[in-house]
Amino acid sequence: MTTPEVLEAAVDHDDRYRLLVESIVDYAIYMLDPQGHVVSWNRGAERFKGYTDREIIGQHFSRFYTEADRATDLPGRALGIAASEGRFEQEGWRVRKDGSLMWAHVLIDPIRREDGHLIGYAKVTRDLSERKATRDALKLSEQRFRILVQGVQDYAIYMLDPQGKVSSWNRGAQRFKGYTDDEIIGEHFSRFYTDADRSTGLPARALSTAATEGRFEAEGWRVRKDGTRFWAHVVIDPIRGEHDELVGFAKITRDITERKQAQQTLEETRARFIQSQKMEAVGQLTGGVAHDFNNLLAVVLGSLHLARKHLPADRKLLRLIDNAIQAADRGAILTKRMLAFARRQDLETGPVDIPERVRGMAELLQRSIGSNIPVVTQFPLRLPLAFADANQLELALLNLTVNARDAMPAGGTITIAAREAFIGSEAGAELKPGRYVCLSVADTGEGMDAATLARAAEPFFTTKGVGKGTGLGLSMVHGFAEQSGGRLILRSVEGRGTTAELWLPEAEAGISVTEAPQAEDSTPPALKPLTVLVVDDDPLVLMNTSAMLEDLGHAVIEASSGDQALRVLRRSAEAVDLMITDQMMPHMTGVQLIALLKSERAALPVILASGYAELPEDSLTGLVRLSKPFVQADLARALSTSLNPQPQGLPS
C-alpha cells in the first residue's frame, strides 16, 4: 500500500520532468497517441511551430508536414518505422502555423508500458533552418568555385595530396598537359618534370619548400603527355586543415612559352643592336684612322717614287727604295680594307652574274687554297643578277675562301653556293625587306664557339698565329656587304664547320651585266705645262702633290683650305688651268668648294682627291676621282682624263 509520502514524492518527480520539458525552448518536445494525435506540447514546440497547446492538442501531427510528404504518407510511415524499429530519425522540411517552412531534424521514439503495449510516441524536433541555409550557401559557394576552377582554361589548377599525387584536375590542366582526369588522378605530379629535373629531386624539393616556407614559385620546362615541352610558371601552396595539419597542395601552372620566346627574341634583337652599335663605333674609328693613314701613305709613296726617279743608279740604294715602296703598298692595301669595313671605300656598283664570276675565278681560287682541298659549286639553273661592285665581290669571295681553307688544317671541302632569297617585313629580320642573292662559302672545318663567332667580323680580330693574318679579311667583307645594302651573316657550330653568307641586293630586271673596263694605258700622253691649283689641309700631302706635279713639268699654286682656294681663283682666275682638291677639309669640303666654283668658273677642270666614299651621289657626276694614296702615274692619268673627258663622264 502506497503511503501518502511515496505518492507525494512520485508526483513531485513527475512535476519536475514536466517542468523540465516545458521549459525547453530550443527543442519541440511533445507526445503523440498511437494514432499520431498530439497529447502534450512544450514551449519549444509552440516557438517553432507557432501553435499554442490549446490549438494543437488533439490534432494530428501530419499537419506539420508538407503536402508532398503527406501525399507519400510520410507521417504514417514515420510512426510505423518508430514502432517497428524502435526509432525514426530524419531531416526535412516542416510547416509552421503561418505556412512558412523550416528545416527540421526529427526524432520519434515509441513509448511502451512495461508489458510492451504501445501507448504513444515521443517526438523531438529541432529547427535547423539557419544551419541548413549556411550549409546550402557553403555548398553553393563550393559548387561555384568548382565550376570556376574547372572552367579556367588558361591556367592548370589542380590539387595534390601530401605525397604529391594528383587529386583534382581542371580543363586548363588537361589543355596544357594533355591528360584527362581519368588518366592523371592518382598519378604523381613528378611526371610533368623533365628527366634532368627529376634526377636532381626538384619535384620533392618543390613540395618541401611549399610546406616549410608557405609557397614555392619557379619557372622552367615541363613535359606534356606527348613528350613535348613548354615553359611554365609554377606556384605551389600548401593546404592545411583546422588543426594546421597538411592535407595537400594547390598547384597552379601557366604556359608562358610564347612570352619566353618573345623575351628571347627581344634579347637577341637587343644583342644584335648592341653589336651593330659597337661595329658602327669601331667603323667610325677605323675610318678616321684609315683616312689619316691614307694621307701619310700618299706622302710616303709619292716621295719614294720621286726619290727613286731622281736617285743615281745605285743597285743597293734602289733595292732599299723598292722595299720601302712595297711596304707602303702593303700599308695601302690595309687602309683599303679598313675603309671597306668602315663602308667608306669607292664602289662601282652594277649588275653581277655571280655564277659566271665564280667560274672565272676558279683557277685563282684553287691556286690560293691549294690543290689538296676540293671546291664544290652549287648554283641553280637560273639565278638573278646581284647589284654590287664586281671587283670588290671577287676580293670578298677570295677572302672568304682563304678563311675557309685556314679553318681546315686537316683538310676538308669548301662549298661555294648561291641562291635567290626574299626578306619580308617580319620583326627581328637582319636585312631590310626586299629581294637578295645570297652567296655562301661553307667549310667542313673546326667551326667557332659562340664567343669567337660574335667577334669574327671585328677588325684586327684573328684566331690565326702571329704574322699569319691581319684580322681585316672578314671585316672587309662585312663592310663591303653593308655598303652594298646587304649583310654578312656567319653561322658556325664548333666541330662542324662554318658558313659565311654574303647577302647582296638583287639587280633590277632588264639591266644587263656591265663588261669589265679595259685596262688603262700605264703611260698617259704628255700634257703641255699647266698651272694647277692644289688644295689640301694636310701640309705634307700638299707638298707631296705639288712636288709630283712640278716633276711632271707643271706650275703649282698651293692652298690649305677651300676659302683660300676661292680667294686665289678670284684673284688670278685666268692663270689657273686645273684644280686638284682634297675632300675632307675643315669648314668647307672639296665637294662644297666645287659647288661654289661652278657658279664662277664652270668650265674649269677639277680633280677630287679622297680616300672616302662618303660623297653625295649627285655631286659625283662628271667629276674625276683620284683615290688616296696615289703615285705620280695615277696623278698623270687623272690630269689627262680631266682635260680629255669621256662623253658620258666617268663612272662614280
Per-residue HEC secondary structure of 315-373 comes to: HHHHHHHHHHHHHHHHHHHHHHHHHHHCCCCCCCEEEECHHHHHHHCHHHHHHHHCCCC
- In the block, cell 527543442 appears at 27
pLDDT per residue over 361-370, tens digit each? Answer: 887 778 778 7
* Rounded Cα–Cα distance for residues 34 and 498 (Å): 104
pLDDT band, residue 521 (cuts 50/70/90): very low
Where among 230, 255, 280 does a domain terminate?
Answer: 255
Q: Is 442 in the same domain as 555? A: no
Cβ neighbours of residue 192 under 8 Å, at least 6 residues apart?
Answer: 177, 222, 223, 253
Residue 410 shares a structural domain with residue 493: yes
Please tell me the predicted confidence (pLDDT) of residue 457. Answer: 59
Q: Is 650 a member of any domain?
A: no
Q: Which of 72-86, 152-166, 465-479, 488-502 has the lowest mean pLDDT?
A: 465-479
> Do residues 204 and 95 share a domain?
no
Does the residue 25 lie in any domain? yes
If pLDDT is split at 50, 70 and 90, which confidence band does 201 have?
Answer: very high
Q: Is residue 460 part of a domain?
A: yes
Task: Indicate the residue type of 595.
Answer: A
Q: What's the pLDDT at 492?
A: 86
Residue 240 has pLDDT above 60, yes or no: yes
pLDDT for res 519: 43
Is residue 518 included in any domain, yes or no?
A: no
Q: What is the CATH number of the domain that holds 600?
A: 3.40.50.2300
| Strands, sheet with 555-559, edge to edge from the N-terminal-most edge strand | 555-559, 531-535, 578-582, 606-610, 624-627
b/e for 238-266, b at 16 or more Cβ within 10 A? beeeeeeeeebbbbbbbbebeebeeeeee
Return the minimum-mean-pLDDT range out of 138-147, 207-216, 276-285.
276-285
Domain at 357, CATH number = 3.30.565.10
Of 531, 559, 579, 546, nearest in space to 303 by CA: 546
Residue 40 sits in the same domain as residue 81: yes
The pLDDT, as a whole number, for residue 256 is 84
Q: What's the grid cell of residue 618?
A: 649627285
For residue 489, pLDDT over 80 is answered with yes
Instruction: With a cut of 50, say whether residue 111 has pLDDT above it.
Output: yes
Per-residue burial over 490-528, b if 16 or more Cβ lie within 10 Å, else e, is: bebeeeebbbbbbbbbbbeeeeeeeeeeeeeeeebeebe
Q: Residues 496, 353: one domain?
A: yes
Within a domain: residue 476?
yes
- Domain-located, residue 187: yes
The predicted-structure confidence for 591-641, as pLDDT tens digits, reads as follows 889 888 888 888 888 999 876 555 554 555 568 888 777 788 888 888 988
Distance, C-alpha 602 to centroid of its chain: 56
204, 196 contact by CB (below 8 A): no
Q: Are 19 and 7 in contact (CB under 8 A)?
A: no
The verdict on residue 406 lying in a domain is: yes
Domain that holds residue 540: 531-643
Is 491 a member of any domain?
yes
Mean pLDDT of 520-541: 78
Residue 517 has pLDDT above 50, yes or no: no
Q: Are residues 488 and 453 in the same domain?
A: yes
Contact between 206 and 192 under an 8 Å Cβ cutoff? The reply is no
561 & 491 share domain: no
**Of 471, 505, 539, which closes a domain?**
505
536 with 577, same domain: the answer is yes
Instruction: Count how many domains the chain has.
Output: 5
User: Which has more pLDDT, 87 or 344?
Assistant: 87
Higher pLDDT, 300 or 149: 300
Same domain, 475 and 535: no
198 and 288 assigned to the same domain: no
536 shares a domain with 478:
no
What CATH number does the domain containing 215 carry? 3.30.450.20
Domain end among 332, 367, 383: 332
Is residue 313 located within the same domain as residue 358? Answer: no
Alpha-carbon separation of residue 238 from 161, 168, 215, 392 (angstroms):
10, 15, 7, 69
Separation of alpha carbons 123 and 168, rounded Å: 44
